[in-house]
Amino acid sequence: MQVMRFTKRYEKFIVPILLLFSLSLIGCLKKTKTVKRKGNLGGVFKINLGQQPTTLNALSSTGYYASQVQGYILEGLLDRDVETYQWKPNLAKEWKTSKDGLSYEFTIRDGVKWHDGKPLTIEDVKFSFDAIVDKKNRWKTAHVKPYYENIGEAKIIAKNKIRFTAKKKYFRNFDVVAGLTVIPKHLYEDTSKENLKKLNKTLIGTGAYTLSEFNRGKNIILKKSSNWWGLNNKSQKGINNFDKILLRFIKDETVELIRAEKGDIDFLGLNAEQFVKKAQGKKWGKDIHKVKYQNKSPKGYGFIGWNLRNPLFKSKKTRLALYHLLNRDLMIEKFEHGMSLPATGPQYQQSIYANPEVKPVSFDPKLALKLLKENGWKDDAEDSILYKDIDGKKVRFSFTILEPRKEFVKYLTVFKEDAKKAGIDVQIQFSEWTTFIKLLDERKFEAVRLGWSGGAVEWDPKQIWHSSFAKAGSNFIGYKNEEVDKLIDLARETLDQPKRQKILRRVYRIIAEDAPYAFLFNGKYGFYAHRERIGRKKDAYTFGIGTSYWWIKK
């Protein structure tokens, strides 16, 4: 499944990210020829971000668009190797783990500076952790708290050393502290409304690129940092080769293809419709190329989520009936060009944690009607819409699905028509991203169509599926299951991977059977387009595309 408009520079995944999801794939094509590095380094790398980020605040942002911008500007203690997925030095040059596996020491580099010229200190590292776990939640970090809840404290033990101590075992304790994004204390410690508002549109980091311009409604321009610590560091040789990065906000898929053909975009994520119907012509294969690849990077999935606080969706039978009205096979054939699989549950099928015994829910209108009638839904002779007596009131089976992407409306229209035949009135409401996120945060929706990024290779479902995050956090549909909570907590404390796999496959099965989402598709491949002027060593690395290694050939 093509889950990202473009690939984040740092190919590490800690927190699942909320995505719009085009949920489309493109057909087979020959691999483009890769070249050895030669020609000029520098130049401007042009990308279509797709949407303007709602906020750039490094602590409170949850959306995909902000994360892409932050990936160029901010850095973590360690970084993932895009080929091996192993941790490697970044802001921290050294690290060690205690014998009991519950404490982790990091030594930060000397001479690292923030983009505003101030030196990076160990106090910045401690503050970055303390702000996330802050009990008063002054920085609105509920979306990442579950990952850090097992880390008891961050203690400065020397001028350039910090020790993180875990309260109890958790299989990703080291990963969450190693991947900690470090932010400047001198800018974020002020929690006044005025300062937080300012942080929504500014971003200061230690990374290879600085925020040069934020042109509302148009683009973001990043400039190569002249004081980046990695400029003369051998460990960073061969990456971050562009002088500038231009991130455009082009929402329309047809327009973005036209701009790519004109040379206004160098790298573009593609979907099936773009490839099969639009990405054709004399320039394709000459001035601009399409690439199909497979690798081991975590894959995302899309879904229609039911607000379980709404009486319409409280019954599992009703949710399952809606699932049986979703003609995914038709959508895959018509819109995905056969390049997707019907999803079976809350993790991509290629993951070792996806339960292979769970089969896709079939499109079966007759079974859907049977389930609805068993659940008390009745025909209404007046308007052909099913109704049910709920708390003494006659409730029509009518609801609205929030949709943040116009291109996906056609998928939901298929569902709408099939639901109508069953006596269910489905409305589709397109909502701009900023408004959409606000409605999710306030839980003011009936149903929503969205998607999650792949997250980490090692799956931890707590952020999305644990009941403790139903009020504030990523469990915005309000899913609650005591057995799932217990199993998730048990899995987090299980360090033995085969044993954890067994536990999480049970979690997968239970959630799939509860049908809190109508899970949509899993992709078989990844796809993108690049201009001829872009130099690459290979189409993709084992755990990412590796755009940070690209350069301009001419």
Q: In terms of DSSP H, where are the helices of 84-190? A: 122-133, 145-148, 173-178, 185-188
According to the model, what pLDDT value does residue 144 have? Answer: 86
Q: Which residue has the tokens 């699905």?
A: 401
Q: Please enumerate in sequence order all residues whose Cβ is within 8 A of that of 33, keeping only pairs 6 or more positions apart, or say none.
A: none
Q: Which residue has the tokens 């040059």?
A: 93
Distance CA 519, CA 105 (A): 41
- Tokens of residue 464, six digits: 């999305």
In degrees, to the nearest 5, what angle opens at C-alpha 245 toward C-alphas 244 and 251? 150
The number of beta carbons lying within 10 Å of the beta carbon of residue 209 is 23
- Tokens of residue 397, six digits: 């089976």
- Tokens of residue 410, six digits: 């056609």
Distance CA 492, CA 129 (A): 20
Annotated domain spans of the chain: 1-73+207-294+525-554, 75-188, 301-523
Q: Which residue has the tokens 């360090």?
A: 495
pLDDT (tens place) for every residue of the chain, 554 residues total:
223 223 333 333 334 555 554 333 223 333 434 444 444 579 999 999 999 999 999 999 887 899 999 999 999 999 999 999 999 999 999 999 999 999 999 999 999 999 999 999 999 999 999 999 999 889 988 888 888 999 999 999 999 999 999 999 899 999 999 999 999 999 999 999 999 999 999 999 999 999 999 999 999 999 999 999 999 899 898 999 999 999 999 998 889 999 999 999 999 998 777 877 888 899 999 999 999 888 998 888 999 999 999 999 999 999 999 999 999 999 999 999 988 899 999 999 989 999 999 999 999 999 999 999 999 999 876 788 999 998 889 999 999 999 998 889 999 999 999 999 999 999 999 999 889 989 999 999 999 999 998 878 899 999 999 999 998 788 999 999 999 999 999 999 999 999 999 999 999 999 999 999 999 998 888 889 999 999 999 999 999 999 999 999 97
Enter the DSSP assignment of 404: S
Bin 23: left if φ > 0, else alpha if -120 < ψ < 50, else beta: left
Q: Tell me the β-bridge partners of 448.
A: 305, 402
Closest residue by Cα to residue 154 from 105, 194, 99, 97 = 105
According to the model, what pLDDT value does residue 100 have? Answer: 92
According to the model, what pLDDT value does residue 147 have? Answer: 85
According to the model, what pLDDT value does residue 19 have? Answer: 54
| 3-state DSSP assignment of residue 42 | coil
According to the model, what pLDDT value does residue 249 have? Answer: 96
Distance CA 419, CA 423 (A): 6
Q: Does domain 75-188 have CATH number 3.90.76.10?
A: yes
Q: Does domain 1-73+207-294+525-554 have CATH number 3.30.70.1230?
A: no
Q: Which residue has the tokens 């750039």?
A: 56
- Tokens of residue 553, six digits: 């050939």
Q: Please, are residues 74 and 205 in contact by the beta-carbon 8 Å criterion?
A: yes
Q: In terms of DSSP H, where are the helices of 117-252? A: 122-133, 145-148, 173-178, 185-188, 193-199
Q: Tell me the β-bridge partners of 161.
A: 107, 158
Distance CA 39, CA 29 (A): 27
Q: Please, are residues 492 and 482 in contact by the beta-carbon 8 Å criterion?
A: no
Cut 0.85: pTM above it = no
Q: Please enumerate in sequence order all residues whose Cβ is within 8 A of that of 507, keeping only pairs 6 or more positions apart, or say none.
A: 346, 461, 465, 484, 487, 488, 491
Q: Tell me the β-bridge partners of 449.
A: 304
Mark 6-29 as b/e (b = at least 16 C-beta within 10 Å).
bbbbbbbbbbbbbbbbbbbbbeee
Q: Which residue has the tokens 């800018």?
A: 187
- Tokens of residue 189, six digits: 């410690």
For domain 301-523, give the CATH number. 3.10.105.10
Q: Please enumerate in sequence order all residues whose Cβ is within 8 A of that of 295, keeping only pairs 6 or more positions apart, or say none.
A: 526, 540, 541, 542, 543, 544
Query: What's the N-to-C CA distance of the chain in angstroms?
Result: 32
Distance CA 16, CA 182 (A): 19
Q: Please, are residues 131 and 180 in contact by the beta-carbon 8 Å criterion?
A: no
Residue type at 461 in one-letter notation: P
